[in-house]
Structure 1
Amino acid sequence: MHMCSASKENQRSESQLMASKAFISKSFLSFYRSLRRRRQLARRDAHPKPPQKNHDLSFLHLHGKTLILDVEGALLRSSSTFPYFMLVALEAGSIFRGLLLLLLYPLLCCLSRGVALQVMALVCFCRIKKEEFRAGRAVLPKFFLEDVGLEGFEVVKKAGKKVVCVSRMPRVMVEGFLKEYLEVAQVVGREMKVIGGYYTGLMEEEGAMVEKCLSLLENFGEELYGLIGNCTKSSQNQIFSLCQEVYVVTEAEKRKWHALPREEYPKPLVFHDGRMAFKPTPAAALAMFIWLPLGVSLAIFRSIVFLFLPYNISIPIGAATGMTNRLLNPPTSVNGKPGGHGGKLYVCNHRTLLDPVYISAALNRIVVAVTYSLSAVSEVLSPIKTARLTRDKEEDRRNMERLLRQGDLVVCPEGTTCREPFLLRFSPLFAELTDGVVPVALATRVSVFHGTTASGFKGLDSFYFLANPWPSYDIEFLDEMETGKGGGSRYEVANLVQKEIGRALGFECTALTRKDKYLMLAGNEGVVNN
């Protein structure tokens, strides 16, 4: 018995000794790698290697190698970060933050780049709740994609997923775009300091970001290549000094770059949020603030005209104030009764809350629109009758059949709006109501404000649309389609109607839903409790 116990003790001691040796070996190896990297950095700082200026961004030798990319200097066509901070100020903050940032712009031009970045971050992020900040994922990617240079993107594509992006902007602003749309391996940017769940507006020191990046690069092997702009800061040069070769893109070369075509986006841009429909450069932001008082007055006037005047008077007045509408293939018969019901069923894609109003104006008679989660303000100010749906299929079907017996009915089967040239999946509920439907294809154009939102106050959606200088609607009535009597299942009918509307507009049909949109843009399923 004693010998058995002693044997077990010896085995336990040997296993502990082996574990200790493994731990020591692993720690020593990690220390050795870190020390070797620091020695390389010190050696390169003592004898810096002049960057190799590049005039051919083919990078055919990047396969299997790691690319360190300067986002502002070598990916985006414009090196200015002001428009992106302005978007954060307006979308995550308020109109007053945006105005303050614009008023500080002359001062920012006199400060060094590092100090100007800190001032912009302070104005835009101070007292913004961290959990509610979604601009980096829901708003900024659209503008980043529009600013990506085709030549820089080709380099990223050839490097595959072994790309480490370095940005002067806070990481929370650029990470969503770089990881979700460009699928890069890592994103290095300065962290925003947080106290009590709120951003303070202060960024971490640049030295901390450099140290973090150097430790990160230990996992990417020895063959590192860099692509930077000629305005890259000295602190970031410490990172790029680890590269075997560094290629510099000058501002003159970037001015010749082409915009990345939409069909070459790595991932389709279907959803995005925010009110701004333009990139707010200093000049564009100044023009917007000058236009805003007139835009608000014009939106109120246009709303009053549509609320209290008949269509044959309100439409010419709206056109005189800059509203442009185009009606294609207007219906010749307005009193048909498909399927024995009292009215026609109009099925349209969903662009703004004004879709049923414009269809009613095109028909020159009042129609009824069914909605899921219309705000109380929009419901009160609607010039046509609206009816709420409950999301109980049987009850909603009965209510819609009752409304259809009373007159014309407009439904938007997508269930939510989509700004881009895509159609979301159509709910098949409308296919059970009647034997025939009239598809209606709608397209809108705005120049300053988007008339939709996922996370903002929906009661102002129509006002934002009408506050544009020249808001535009295209309305096309398609041929009536049979939905019953052997016309296929309700799902097949819904898909067919979606396809016909998509064909008329040149839009791409998708299987995405309202839930997908709101989970991405607002962090919820888009259900409003009334």
Structure 2
Amino acid sequence: MNSSVIAELEGTLVKDPDPFPYFMLIAFEASGPIRFSLLLLFWPVIRLLDLLGMKEASLRLTIFIAIAGLPKSEIEYVGRAVLPKFYMDNLNNDAWKIFSRYEKKVVVTRTPRVMVERFLKMHLGANEVIGSELIFNRFGFATGWVRDIRSISDRVDRLFGNEEMSLALGRWIGFDSPTFVSLCKNRCHERLTMQQEDGHIPKQPHPVIFHDGRLVKHPKPITALLILLWFPIAIILAIIRVPIGLAIPLRHQRNYMSPILGYRVLTKNPPNSSSVSAVSSKKGVLYVCNHRTVMDPLFLSRVLGQNIPAVVYSMSPIWRKIAPIRTVHLTRSRSKDAEMIAKELENGDLVICPEGTTCREPFLLRFSSLFAELTDDIVPVAINYKPQLFHATTARGRKVLDAIFFLMNPLNVYEISFLKKISMEDSSIAGKSSYEIANHVQRLLADALGFQCTDFTRKYKYRLLAGNDGIVAS
């Protein structure tokens, strides 16, 4: 049997047949709220064209409003770093189970190929992606036009030639040539029955570990409207919350100011002074946390009710100056950073996030072992964060906006769990190396959070989001 499958993306590999929300993401993440609003304003017209059977005109109008004038690099970045997360959340697992068992996997979509190719090739293992092609001018900006959408079926025909596919998965709606279906030996429902009976265990799709962008929710029209209505209120709230957060002492914020400041903190096993006292009275305790947002050290200080300095790798200079806790900015020079951390520990307690960058998904990056070389007084702290509308940290956004977007959420929920202090048996006193200690702390935090440990580093994250990992859209 020929082991080849061709599948439609919209409504088959992903549940939602409407690509409109993904263009809303392109509009917001690559351009901003104005284009986002404009595209939503035209949604009734786009929907009317769909209902009248003018699907091609509807799609062309959507593409033009969402993409016209955008640099090619911006569109590619959103397609690579933002959209895969939303496509994965909308994955049709039943279709994936069938799609994954074939050797040659081809996906057909009327969405511009640059938007979907990264997700389909990296996460679903597709060999070929046939979609509409955006037209760019000689300066690298999108004109808003696409090459003839009707040619998709012809390109499928050319790809396979006289070869017959083993299976086609799709709704068979919106394709203008019967060639797409006639190339297939079996209908979807016939092969579905065979797959369910043969006991085959499908592979799992490659998970989305790193992604970027500000929006948390999938911006379907109603959700997008709510985001837009909230946006001006959110900006006002953020402006009000900043001076309040800076003026009110930490101990009062913890007890009385949470609703006004827009956060709720769930704390588990908060330490007392005797449970975390340092082995040496000359040194402070090092709180080692996983890293979810730029606010992690601040919330740890709020829970403890005291100003604990934090080691930071990348933070806006403005926020470093006005932050209610003192920050120690590292240089990423191992010797210089070790000297600074050791000096801070001599003065008291300290907070550090050895992942070096944030991770939004339930995974932990590899921990730098530097912290384990400097002290045995280590208290692991497991942190989880649940935003409602906006992500507080992005890989390439302006760092000065991170705290603003954090405060623009109606409510930010933090879960902070203090684990037991590292025992002597798991420290350097027992002969453990710094790498063993760092890996041990990573595993403890992962188990407490229900996350998975990875060997990925900060450099790998940024290389992946930049498209320098060997899987680049052609």
Please confirm whether the aligned pair reaches a TM-score higher than 0.5, indicating the same fold.
yes
**Paired letter, 1:392:** S
Cα offsets for 1:32-77 (capped at 9, x unmatched): xxxxxxxxxxxxxxxxxxxxxxxxxxxxxxx633222111132221
Q: 2:211 aligns with which of 264, 272, 276?
A: 272
Q: Which residue of structure 2 lines up, in the alignment, with residue 221 of structure 1?
A: 163
Tell whether 2:441 aligns with 1:501: no
Question: Could you tell me which residue of structure 1 aligns to residue 117 of structure 2?
Answer: 175
Alignment partner of 2:382: what SS? strand
Q: Which residue of 2 aligns with 1:304?
A: 243
Distance in 1 between the 2:436 and 2:178 partners? 58
The C-alpha deviation readout for 1:155-214, integer Å capped at 9, x for no partner, is 2123x2312111010001111111111101211001100112121111001244333332
Partner of 2:258: 318
In 1, the alpha carbon distance for the partners of 2:177 and 2:399 equals 43
Q: What's 2:133 paired with?
A: 191
Contact kept in structure 1, 2:31 and 2:70, CA below 8 Å: yes
Q: Pick which of 281-290 and 123-132 moved more.
A: 123-132
> Equivalent residue of 1:338, what SS?
coil
Which of residues 258, 267, 273 is equivalent to 1:327?
A: 267
Q: Say if 1:193 and 1:204, in contact at 8 Å, map to a contact too.
A: yes
CA deviation after TM superposition for structure 1 residue 399, in Å? 0.9
Amino acid at match of 1:88: I
Q: Corresponding residue for 1:136?
A: 79
* In 2: Cα distance, 1:393 partner to 1:448 partner: 37
Residues 150 and 176, structure 2, Cα contact 8 Å, conserved in 1: yes
Residue in 1 that maps onto 2:428: 484
- Alignment match of 1:281 (pick from 220, 243, 249): 220
TM superposition shift of 1:431: 0.8
What letter matches 1:119 in structure 2? Answer: L
What is the alpha-carbon distance in structure 1 between the residues aligned to residue 320 and residue 467 of structure 2?
25
Tell me the amino acid that sits aligned with residue 148 of structure 1: L
Residues 292-350 of structure 1: CA deviation (Å, up to 9, x unaligned): 12222222222222211102322322235542111111111178333343421111000
Asked whether the 8 Å contact 2:309–2:351 carries over to 1, the reply is yes
Write the mapping of 1:72-471 to structure 2, written as runs, cut at 5 A: 72-111=10-49, 112-132=54-74, 133-158=76-101, 160-195=102-137, 196-218=139-161, 221-230=163-172, 232-235=173-176, 237-247=178-188, 265-315=204-254, 316-320=256-260, 322-333=262-273, 336-471=277-412
TM-score normalised to structure 2 length: 0.90
> Following the alignment from structure 2 to structure 1, what is the Cα–Cα distance between the partners of residues 337 and 94?
52
Which residue among 465, 469, 473 is the counterpart of 2:414?
473
* Counterparts of 1:205 and 1:288, CA distance in 2: 34
Given that 1:228 and 1:246 are in contact with CA atoms closer than 8 Å, whether structure 2 keeps it comes out as no
In 2, the alpha carbon distance for the partners of 1:397 and 1:434 equals 11
Stretch deviating more after TM superposition (308-317 or 98-107): 308-317
Q: 1:309 to 1:208 in 2, by over 3 A?
A: same
Q: Which has the higher helix share?
A: 1
2:241, 2:409 → 1: CA distance?
A: 11
Match of 2:11, SS? helix
The alignment partner of 1:350 has SS state of coil
**Which of these two proteins has the greater Rg computed from alpha carbons?**
1
CA displacement, residues 358-400 of structure 1 (integer Å, 9 cap, x when unaligned): 1111111111111122122332332111111111111111111
Q: Is the 8 A contact 1:71 1:165 kept in 2?
A: yes
SS at match of 1:405: helix
Paired residue type of 1:280: P
Partner SS, residue 229 of structure 1: coil
- Judge conservation of contact 2:56–2:149 (CA < 8 Å) in 1: no
Secondary structure of residue in 2 paired with 1:331: coil
| Alignment partners' CA distance in 2, 1:322 and 1:474 | 14
Task: List per-residue Cα deviations over 1:124-173 (Å, max 9, x = no partner).
Answer: 21122113431112111111111121221122123x23121110100011
Instruction: Quote the offset at 1:524 in angstroms.
Output: 7.5
Tell me how far apart the structure 2 counterparts of residues 499 and 340 of structure 1 sit (CA, whole Å).
28
Preserved contact between residue 161 and residue 183 of structure 1 (Cα < 8 Å)? no
Residue 21 of structure 1 is matched in structure 2 by none
How far apart are the structure 2 equivalents of 1:390 and 1:183?
39
Contact 1:339 1:434 in 2 (8 A): no
- Greater shift after overlay, 507-516 or 379-388? 379-388
CA distance in 2, matches of 1:86, 1:157: 29
Contact 2:387 2:412 in 1 (8 A): yes
2:362–2:452 Cα contact (<8 Å) kept: yes
> Does the 8 Å contact 1:347/1:412 carry over to 2?
yes
Write the deviation string for residues 83-133 of structure 1: whole angstroms up to 9, x where unpaired: 111011111121111110001111111222111111111122112211343
Q: CA RMSD in A?
A: 2.2
Cα deviation for residue 265 of structure 1 reads 4.1
Aligned-residue offset at 1:445 = 0.6
Change (3 A) 1:223 1:281: closer
From the superposition, tell whether residues 362 and 393 of structure 1 become closer, same or farther in structure 2 (CA, over 3 Å).
same
Shift of 1:243: 2.4
Mark the CA change 1:342 to 1:497 in structure 2 (over 3 Å): closer, same or farther.
Answer: same
Contact 1:350 1:442 in 2 (8 A): yes
Match of 1:57 in 2: none
Match of 2:196 in 1: none
CA distance in 2, matches of 1:474, 1:245: 50
Deviates more, 1:263-272 or 1:444-453: 263-272
CA deviations over 1:273-310 (Å, ceiling 9, x no partner): 11111110000000111111222222222222221110
With normalisation by structure 1, the TM-score equals: 0.80
**C-alpha distance in 1, partners of 2:203/2:89?**
12
